[in-house]
Amino acid sequence: MTGELVPSEQVLEAELVEERALMQRIERAWTGARVVPPVLRSRQALNRAMKDALAWVVRVPFRCGKAVGRGLVIAVRGWRNWVRVGDYRAAAEKSEKLADKFVEIRALTLFRWKVTATVVLVGFLVVTGARLFYGDLVLWAVGGVGAVVLAVAGRAKDGSPGRKTVLGGPRILMWTMDAQVLIDVFRDAKLIGRDETLRLVERPCREGAGWAVTVDLPATRKAADVVRNREELASALAVDEVQLSVERVRGKGGHAGRVALWVADKDPYASPPVRTPLLQVRRWDAWKAVPFGTDARGRQIDLPLVWTSLLIGAIPRQGKTMAERLATAGLVLDPHARLYVADFKSGKDWRAVEQVAHRFMTGDDSEHVLVLLDWLDELVEDVQQRYRRMQHLDDVTCPESKVTPAMSRDRSLGMPITALIVDEVHVALEDRTPVVVQGKRLTAGERVGELLTWLAKKAPAAGVVIVLATQRPDSTTIPSKLRAVLGSRFALRVMDWRDSNIVLGDQMNTRGYDSSRLLPSHKGVGILRPDGETQSGTDVLALTVRTFYMPNDDWRVICERGRALREAEGTLTGQATGRDPLPVRDHAPVAEAGRRSGGRLPEPLVSVARYLGEDLQEREFVPTAELVEALDVEPTMFGKEMGDLGCRPVRQYVHEGEATRRVRGYLTADIRAAIAESA
């Protein structure tokens, strides 16, 4: 304290090893050792083995009784066929010499009856004599040996080699999961040949509310073919395809011909939905995958968001907005996350998030699309500045050109996890309001698509998450360049396989993933193609997920909790504070530019603009006949003057009462563009 040098103790260099990390290393070494039996490699496998052993002990008496009964039936049938000389009689009938052999058959039948009587009598005398010397122990020994012999004779189930299936009535999973019947199922579905067979990797067992089995296909047969032909396999199993889950086993312990099957006892999506577990969480970390839903087996599926982007597509009223809110809920509960929320549905679904959002907007007019353009410009500038700041950070703080958890929580760096959530993004992408960008004339929708594509390419590594939802997943609405760079996809029910492929990716229907086949009654059920690790493994291509249930009341509770967390942490920013104004940039419509020019527009543009007024923004098409009549001009000269100003007539269908006819006219977007250029 006085500034004098004080000798200190020897300083030793050391490395802090967390106990949790050490336990994880030990666990990886134990599970990866080949000498460790598979049943001891995990607690789950050990619990399953113990449950299987207990179930086997409980079932043994009943199975033995059934086997003895079947063996007794087999023995009686065999003896009856032998004593009636069935084999000799069948041969005589086949050779059409039954009448000639009748005397021989009758003599052989009497002889076999005598042999039967002699064996029974001798056996009775032997057992009776032995009982006199050894007591009842002889009876127990004879009964035990007989029961064992009968059980062995009756152990083979229907469908085993050498016997014919005699089961009648409807098929049930109990016997369908028999090994031989399972082979017949694959053969009936034409997934393996008649001379090919399967190899059971894991025997059929109960897992949750269904049966699970893992099989190896014959050589040259691919698991991808089984996944693609899931419907045929479900038909052979006599179950609905929603009850059948088929996955290729990949990574360690898997190969291209290994398939994991799980067959539910009933429709797994018929039960009431499960409420989101985030209701029980006080706060969340945006770097953790968000609880998104459950698969058919009831396993929770978490959705990773950081370093990726998400596209949600569906027809109306299939749970699209709820799925988007579930992905956003984890970010709401992280006080360090920043939210940009644009609701082009213009409803009440997103109103609750206004109290935590850095930027919030709801509406479906052109002015709202222009506000979104301002946001996108703001985000582009933010991302560019983040990358510039990363260049000057040391390798400890920023090991790569990516935002780390520590960086996102360091306020001095200004790189929080930022999410852009756009509901009904097709409204913005289809907007035809003309804008001028660097001297180039574009529609607002085209500019939105360009900026979203740029952000989806470069922004995830800088900590910006993009979540888009649309009820019009078609190729004309969502540009292919934008779809190609959106990492995670979630497709609820759509109209046909083309729309499903637009959301999930090209040719996904040929791989067995087609959301148009989902049932209308399965609200919130969709096909998830994740960009990251899920509970189904890191290499899973896609899986069917039922999203958690989060009504408006629960959503409001989560948003109120998120605001309280931000107020406590001092991280409430933007519009949520009520003080930060919206960014305003030069994206004003060209029609407004024409008005600001003081009306110095050439004819006939000034007359057209004066006649249309506000309709210039609201209408998409104006018939030529309407303009000619309203302006009282000569049609040929009017068309020439409009063409010289860049407005070319087009033909479109218009409704007049109950009739529809095709007329010539002008697109208001072209008129606005001509006004902007003339202004």
Determine the pLDDT at residue 593.
41
Residues 323 and 439 in one domain: yes
Residue at 161 is within a domain: no
Q: Please name the residue that has the structure tokens 């929320």.
A: 341
Looking at residue 549, its pLDDT comes to 92
Looking at residue 558, its amino acid is: I
User: In this predicted structure, what is the pLDDT of residue 539?
Assistant: 57
At residue 416, the pLDDT reads 93
Cis peptide bond prior to 7, omega within 30° of 0: no
Domain boundary at 551, 577, 603, which?
A: 577
Asked if residue 668 and residue 626 are part of one domain, the reply reads yes
Residue 168 lies in a domain: no
398 with 323, same domain? yes
Q: In the predicted model, what is the mean pLDDT of residues 127-132?
A: 83
Q: Tell me, yes or no, whether 238 and 130 share the same domain.
A: no
Whether 236 and 375 map to the same domain: the answer is no
**Looking at residues 292-320, what average pLDDT do you find?**
88
Report the pLDDT value the prediction gives residue 596, as an integer from 0 to 100. Answer: 40
Q: What is the dihedral of CA 578, 580, 585, 587, to 10 degrees?
A: -20
Which of 155-164, 327-336, 384-393, 595-604 is the least confident region? 155-164
CATH number of the domain to which 464 belongs: 3.40.50.300
Structure tokens at 165: 């299936």
Provide the token pair at 624: 């030529």
Q: Looking at the domain assignment, is residue 32 inside a domain?
A: no
pLDDT in tens, 162-199: 344 333 333 444 445 666 778 888 888 888 888 888 88
Asked whether residue 160 is domain-assigned, the answer is no
- Residues 485-497 have a mean pLDDT of 89
With beta carbons less than 8 A apart as the criterion, state whether 486 and 309 touch: yes
Angle at 503 (CA atoms; ends 556, 348), nearest 5 degrees:
20
Closest CA to 538 of 304, 240, 217, 224: 304
Q: Name the maximum alpha-carbon separation found in the chain.
A: 131
Answer yes or no: is 284 within a domain. Answer: no
Query: Which residue in 54, 105, 114 sits closest to 84, CA to CA?
Result: 105
Question: 436, exposed or middle or buried, with CB in 10 Å at 0-12, 13-18, 19+?
Answer: middle
Most confident segment among 70-79, 90-99, 304-313, 595-604: 304-313
Choosing from 247, 264, 281, the residue where a domain stops is 264
Q: Quick one: DSSP state of residue 272?
A: P
Beta pairing partners, 652: 663
Do 388 and 521 lie in one domain? The reply is yes
Are residues 547 and 631 both part of a single domain? no
- Domain co-membership, 529 together with 412: yes
What's the pLDDT tens digit per position in 352-391? 999 999 999 998 888 889 999 999 999 999 999 999 889 8
> Residues 330, 424: one domain?
yes
* 103 and 129 co-located in one domain: yes
Instruction: Give the count of alpha carbons within 13 A of 453, CB side only.
Output: 14
Tell the burial category of 415 from Cβ atoms under 10 Å away from its Cβ (0-12, 13-18, 19+): buried
Pair of tokens at residue 174: 């109990």
Give the pLDDT score at 109: 82
Q: What is the mean pLDDT of residues 8-26?
A: 57
- CA 194 vs CA 180, 185, 218, 258, 561: distances in Å: 13, 11, 12, 19, 61
Residue 179 sits in the same domain as residue 146: no
Residue 272 lies in a domain: no
Instruction: Look at residues 545, 577, 609 and tell me which one is the last residue of a structural domain.
Output: 577
How far apart, in Å, are the Cα atoms of 484 and each of 314, 468, 487, 670? 18, 14, 8, 30
Cα–Cα nearest to 318, from 508, 499, 483:
499
Does residue 18 belong to any structural domain of this protein? no
- Closest by CA to 258, choosing from 539, 478, 65, is 539
CATH number at residue 212: 3.30.980
The residue count for the chain? 679
> What is the reported pTM?
0.63
Radius of gyration of the chain (CA): 38
pLDDT at residue 584, rounded to an integer: 47
Tokens coding 330:
């984890």
Q: Taking Cα atoms as reference points, which of 136, 499, 525 lies closest to residue 323?
A: 525
| C-alpha angle 272-275-276 in degrees, rounded to nearest 5 | 145
The residue segments making up the domain with residue 244 are 173-264
**Region at 463 (left for phi over 0; alpha for psi -120 to 50; beta for the rest):** left
Assigned domain for 89 exists: yes
Q: Residues of the chain with pLDDT > 70: what percent? A: 82
Average pLDDT of the chain to the nearest whole number? 80
Do both 130 and 256 map to the same domain? no
Distance CA(433)–CA(595), nearest Å, equals: 16
pLDDT of residue 587 exceeding 60, the answer is no
* Number of domains forming the structure of the chain: 4
**Between the CA of residue 621 and those of 479, 639, 663, what are the distances in Å?**
24, 15, 10
